[in-house]
Each structure stands twice: as structure tokens, then as C-alpha cells.
Amino acid sequence: MKKVLITGGAGFIAHHIIAYIIKNTDWKIVTIDRLDISGNLNRLNEILEQFSIEDKKRLKIVFHDLKAEINSQIESAIGKPDIILHLAAASHVDRSITFPMEFVQDNVVGTVNLLDFARRLPKLEKFVYFSTDEIFGNAPEGVSYSEYDRYNSTNPYSASKASAEEFCVAYENTYKLPINITHTMNVFGERQHPEKFIPMTIQRVRDQQKVLIHANKEKTKAGSRHYIHAQDVADGLMFILKLKNYSHKGDFGNAKCPKFNLVGPEEIDNLTLAQTIAKVQKKDLVYELIDNHSSRPGHDLRYSLSPKLLKSLGWEPKIKLSKRIEEVVEWSLKNNRWLS
């Protein structure tokens, strides 16, 4: 039976991955979390309700802040995992612009502390670092970035994620750690923090409040993303974990560290997304297009990743985006405590 260590397990994406692993494997799971603003143990409590007592026992929670090294006591509590999934991160772009050093500590120092723990493990099978589409910066119309395209960080959050990604590559090269890196686009789903765009829009449409849509300077074109449901992220991750002795083909500058883009099934602009949310609720959308760059420096109008690599290997999301959005809207309205 494998043991997997998941960082940030009480966070939004990680708790979906935990549920997926419990449902689809017999693995034991250890999660470490510091329970800051993004961590919420109620997420784990809710997902565990669907499982048997024996399955619940497969999850162990360890409190630890990765800004501190993993000392002998924490190491003993974790044990010796076969797989490490590193999702813990500070991810609020606005806060990174105000407090950039916090993001260096959380995302860079925290990742290096985890990598140092990983290189002490005798038989680590895989270390997966969850990076972001934002490391590539704004994507001009018609451009979708591939896994090894250049970094172009436009805010301290994306710079900290790119820096941590480079440390992962360095530990692969220097210490031969079995590193994989994923780039995910905007992830949504049940139990997401209410400040995020989709749950915030669900709440504002429900209460007939104005929804602010970030747009270009002329306020004529809304920003766009490839939204992906957290369950699809978990499914894509499991696909990656099952790849055996995989190495990328092609010229990636002699890169040894496999990278994968986890991309939603289609691109959608935020105005169309908000209109879809309003349509599911059978309500009119009250909205205003606002100047994206002037109001929020460091934010990009469009992000886009290429899904071609994982598609060529046999994976892509199985459910249409419109169906996923409908499911999340209906679930959120029935479980409205998560919109507060």
C-alpha cells in the first residue's frame, strides 16, 4: 500500500484530490497544513462523510508551516511517503503585490524545505509540484503556452511560483529527485473560497448585486481563462502519476523534469462565464466592465495554456465546462454556507 504526502490538504484543490485518492485507491494519505486563511478543516470533514470508518482512518493530518524546516518530530509524524504532492502555497495576487516577501517565504522557502525533506527519503517514487499558468504571464490572442515556454511573471505571486518551479528543476538535476511539475489554469469547484470569481459571482447573482468584470482599458473586452474543475485536476494528476518511466520527447533544452499543463476543456471570457452563472439561476446579470490593468496592476487580461501534450498521451477533461458550471452553481446554492 502506497503512502502519499499532500501539502495544504485543507485547501481547496488539495481536499478534492484527497477525496479522489480515497475513492479510487487504497493509499494512505498524510496531509500537512498550517490552517491559514485558505485552509479549512471543514472541507476535509465534509468529504470524509461519504466514506467508511476504515477509509477515514487512511487520512492523517499533521499541523506544520513549511516556512520552517521539517524537523525530526514532524518527519516522524509524516513517515516515509512514496509520493509527494506539493499544493500548499500562498496564491492571492492582490496580497502578493502588497506583501511580496510573504510569498517568497511561503512559496519559495516552503518549497525548498519540502524538497530537502524529499531528498532524505530512501525510495521516493514521485514529487509533483503544482505550479500555475500565471508564470507565463499574459497570453496574446491566439497564443497558448506550452510546458517549456519562457517565464514572464507579472506579479510577485507568479514570480514566487516560477522561482519554486526552478528549485524543483534544480533538485531534479542536482539530487536526481523524481520531480514532475504541473501548470494548472483557473480551478473551480465545490467549497472554494468565496473571494474567488466563480463563488463570488454565484453569490452576487443570487443577491442581485453588481458583478465586476475585468476587461481591457477600453472596457470593451472581458478577460478570459481556461477554467478547470478540481475533480478534473485530480483525474489528470492521477493520470500523470500512472505514467511509468516517462520523459518528454522533443527539444526542451535537455530538460529532464517532466512538465504537464492541466487545462480546462474550453476557453471562456469572464463576462460569458458570469452570464452562464446567471442563466443557471434564472436571473438577470447586473455587471460592469472595469479597466483590468489600471484597477489591479500586476493582473493579466488573458492566460492560456496548450493542452496538446496530455491530449497526445490520452488525457483530457471528460465533462463539458457548461455542465461543470451548472453543477457547481446548483451545489453552491444548496450549500450556501460556502458562499459566506
Residue 301 pLDDT level (bands cut at 50, 70, 90): confident
- pTM higher than the cut 0.75: yes
| pLDDT reported for residue 86 | 98
* pLDDT for the residue 72: 95
Question: Do β-strands 228-229 and 187-188 pair in parallel, antiparallel, or remain unpaired?
Answer: parallel
Q: How confident is the model at residue 296 (pLDDT cuts 50, 70, 90)?
A: low
Measured distance CA(106)–CA(96) in Å, rounded: 11
- Asked whether the predicted pLDDT for residue 216 surpasses 60, the reply is yes
> Which is higher by pLDDT, 200 or 299?
200
Evaluate whether 60 touches 29 at the Cβ level (below 8 Å). yes
pLDDT more than 90, % of the chain: 81
Does residue 162 register a pLDDT over 80? yes
Mean pLDDT to the nearest integer, 288-303 = 74
pLDDT at 268: 95
The model's confidence at residue 277, banded by pLDDT at 50, 70 and 90, is very high
Confidence of residue 132 (pLDDT cuts 50, 70, 90): very high
**For 18-43, what is each residue's pLDDT tens digit?**
999 999 999 999 999 998 777 788 99
Any idea where the domains of the chain sit in the sequence? 3-187+226-262, 193-225+267-302+320-339
Helix 270-281 to helix 321-334 angle (10° resolution) is 50
Read off the pLDDT band of 295 (50, 70, 90).
low
Mean pLDDT calculated for residue range 261-272: 94
Instruction: Give start and end residues of each alpha helix (H) in the chain.
Output: 12-24, 41-48, 53-56, 72-78, 93-98, 100-103, 110-118, 156-175, 197-206, 230-241, 270-281, 292-295, 308-313, 321-334
Local confidence band at 219 (pLDDT 50, 70, 90 cut-offs): confident
Q: Which residues are catalytic?
A: 157
Other Cβ atoms closer than 10 A to 42 = 12
- Average pLDDT over the chain, rounded to an integer: 93
Per-residue pLDDT tens over the stretch 237-250: 999 999 988 888 76
Q: Is residue 228 within 8 Å of 184, Cβ to Cβ? A: yes
CA–CA dist 328, 23 (Å, integer): 20
Q: According to the model, what pLDDT value does residue 166 have?
A: 96
29/43 Cα distance (integer angstroms): 16
For position 21, what pLDDT does the model report? 98
Pick the CATH number of 3-187+226-262 from 3.40.50.720, 3.90.1720.10, 2.40.50.140, 1.10.10.10: 3.40.50.720
pLDDT at site 62: 96
Distance CA 127, CA 176 (A): 11
What is the band of 81 on the pLDDT scale with cuts at 50, 70, 90? very high
Q: What's the mean pLDDT in 224-252?
A: 89
Integer Cα distance of 189 and 85 in angstroms: 19
Alpha-carbon gap, residue 168 to 198, rounded angstroms: 31
For the chain, percent helix, then strand, then coil, each to nearest 5? 40, 15, 40
CA-derived radius of gyration, the chain: 20
Confidence check: pLDDT of 5 > 80: yes
Model confidence at 214: pLDDT above 60 = yes
Domain 193-225+267-302+320-339: give its CATH code.
3.90.25.10
